Chains A and B, each alone.
Chain A
Amino acid sequence: MGLKQTPSQTVGPFFAYGLTPEQYGYELDSIADGAVSDDRTAGTPIRIEGCVFDGRGDVVCDAMIEIWQADAQGRYAHPGDPRGSNADFTGFGRQGTGTDPQSRFRFETVKPGSTGDGNAPHVNLIVFARGLPSHAFTRIYFADEAAANATDPVLSQVPAERRDTLIAQLADSPGSAVYRFDIHLQGDAETVFFDV
């Protein structure tokens, strides 16, 4: 090891035309957005939505959320996954919180399968925002996977009283599976963030 890591800096308030241009109505193609899956994607369609809250409990309307997940069979679309990837599903989504009237992020995707080794189904997530000089990693687990969650090796490293901050709750929405996952940057309900 001879070189030192390049320092992180905040994404700032004006990332939208560079990183999420189509969502915000700018004339540049987006490399990813909130539609992670489409009608042809194998698996159970779900939506994951939520808000980002600051230490005062105010909603953060200039955050950017990225998610990275396995497909319904638990495979990542990456050469590092030895099981071979699903070419139709990138598993990557990106959304700013500045276009929804309630400042939500929303991802249309499929429920990920278990990646093996006792891992419960989960979605990996990064929060970027003005006011965050370094980005924050967390994970979304699913409330209806209680048995798998109970033995997940990452969840089991989280203090029991904080595990709920990582569990998306199934909302009551007829006809489609909507999971609610709010991110609290600070406060009593502060989301668990990982040193990945």
Chain B
Amino acid sequence: MTSPPFRPRDWSSHPSFIDPRADGYRSSALRGPTKPLVPIRQSLSELTGPVYGHDSVGELDADLTRNGRRNGEPLGERIVVTGRVLDEDGRPQANTLIEVWQANAAGRYIHKVDQHDAPVDPNFFGGGRCITDSAGRYRFHSIKPGAYPWGNHPNAWRPNHIHFSLFGPAFATRLVTQMYFPGDPLLKLDPIFTGIPETARDRLVAEFSIDVTEADFALGYVFDIVLRGRAITPMED
């Protein structure tokens, strides 16, 4: 029995391929497709996708405060980020792989082409992954990433953010996004964030939670992620 198709990508929630604003996300101008997408009926090709299980996540993969240590602890504010991966109908997306990557506390990526003149932290790598549990819940520890400058326009700075990559149940539900932090004054100045339709932007801003905060250890943030749901509600067994 083939699964029902997924609802379409909701383009009132996602940024357009080419940022139309004069002061927008500049590099989209030469990279975003210009012709209309061709709609296709979903087949097995879209309704299936790579399957990753708990065996694809190593012991320290979900703890970025430990997985890059060489001779000590990474510098910066320790955080714990948790949330649920759901579909549009609120169904938990269990056993789905989440990959994360981010800058260190000083706003420097370990990536070799990052030229920002801020210190690399020898004890922080900045990449990791985790798998959602049966309730769709994930959790990882990290260091709060710093802001960093980029070349989009004069004095452009990216707000603090963590990159997220998710599979969901099929190739059609694939999502790459970024999580931001509440109260960041750079958010309203960031063309990548403001390229999202206004009503959808807040969905990428995590909530601070004192309940998730771990006493004497790490500040807690909650970030729920919603993937495409099924166009037809499947019959429950």
**Interface residues, chain A, CB within 8 Å of chain B?**
1-19, 21, 24, 26-29, 31-32, 54-56, 58, 60, 62, 66, 68, 70, 76-82, 90-92, 98, 115-117, 119, 122, 124, 126, 128-136, 139, 153-154, 157-158, 185-186, 190-196
Q: Give the distance to chain B from A141, nearest Cβ to Cβ, in Å.
A: 12
Tally chain B residues at the interface, Cβ within 8 Å.
Answer: 88
Q: Report the bound CA distance from A5 to B226 in whole Å.
A: 5
Q: A124 — which chain B residues lie within 8 A by C-beta? A: 45-46, 171
- Contact assessment for B127 and A18 in the assembled complex, using a CB-CB cutoff below 8 Å: yes
Q: A190 — which chain B residues lie within 8 A by C-beta? A: 33-35
- Contact assessment for B171 and A68 in the assembled complex, using a CB-CB cutoff below 8 Å: yes
Q: Add 8 more A-B contacts to A10-B25, A15-B101, A55-B30 (CB < 8 A).
A: A5-B9, A15-B163, A76-B48, A78-B49, A119-B43, A126-B171, A134-B9, A193-B37
Q: B29 — which chain A residues lie within 8 A by C-beta? A: 55, 131
Q: A154 — which chain B residues lie within 8 A by C-beta? A: 40-41, 43
Q: Give the distance to chain A from B149, nearest Cβ to Cβ, in Å.
A: 13
Nearest first, the 7 closest Cβ-Cβ pairs linking A and B are: A18-B101, A131-B27, A78-B48, A131-B31, A133-B15, A92-B50, A195-B37
Chain A interface SS verdict (over half): loop
Q: Report the bound CA distance from A11 to B223 in whole Å.
A: 18
Given A131-B25, A133-B28, verify A196-B40 contact (CB < 8 Å): yes
Candidates B25, B34, B52; contact of A133 at CB < 8 Å: B25
Q: B171 — which chain A residues lie within 8 A by C-beta? A: 68, 124, 126, 196
Ordered by A's residue number, 29 sampled pairs between the chains whose C-beta atoms are within 8 Å are A3-B86, A4-B10, A4-B13, A5-B9, A5-B14, A6-B227, A7-B15, A7-B201, A8-B15, A9-B15, A10-B176, A18-B99, A76-B44, A77-B50, A80-B48, A90-B51, A115-B44, A122-B45, A124-B171, A129-B31, A132-B28, A132-B31, A133-B19, A133-B25, A134-B14, A153-B41, A157-B38, A186-B30, A196-B46
- Contact assessment for A194 and B17 in the assembled complex, using a CB-CB cutoff below 8 Å: no
* Nearest A residue to B101, CB-CB: A18
* Nearest B residue to A154, CB-CB: B40
Q: Report the bound CA distance from A153 to B86 in whole Å.
A: 32
* Interface 0/1 of B1-34, CB less than 8 Å to A: 1110001111001111101000001011111111
- Contact assessment for A17 and B88 in the assembled complex, using a CB-CB cutoff below 8 Å: no
* Nearest B residue to A166, CB-CB: B38
Q: Report the bound CA distance from A116 to B44 in whole Å.
A: 9
B113 interfacial contact with A, CB 8 Å: yes
* Nearest B residue to A92, CB-CB: B50
Q: Report the bound CA distance from A185 to B88 in whole Å.
A: 30
Candidates A6, A91, A131, A132; contact of B204 at CB < 8 Å: A6
Q: Report the bound CA distance from A1 to B35 in whole Å.
A: 30
- Contact assessment for A10 and B86 in the assembled complex, using a CB-CB cutoff below 8 Å: no
Given A132-B17, A185-B33, verify A17-B172 contact (CB < 8 Å): no
- Contact assessment for B3 and A80 in the assembled complex, using a CB-CB cutoff below 8 Å: yes
Q: B19 — which chain A residues lie within 8 A by C-beta? A: 133
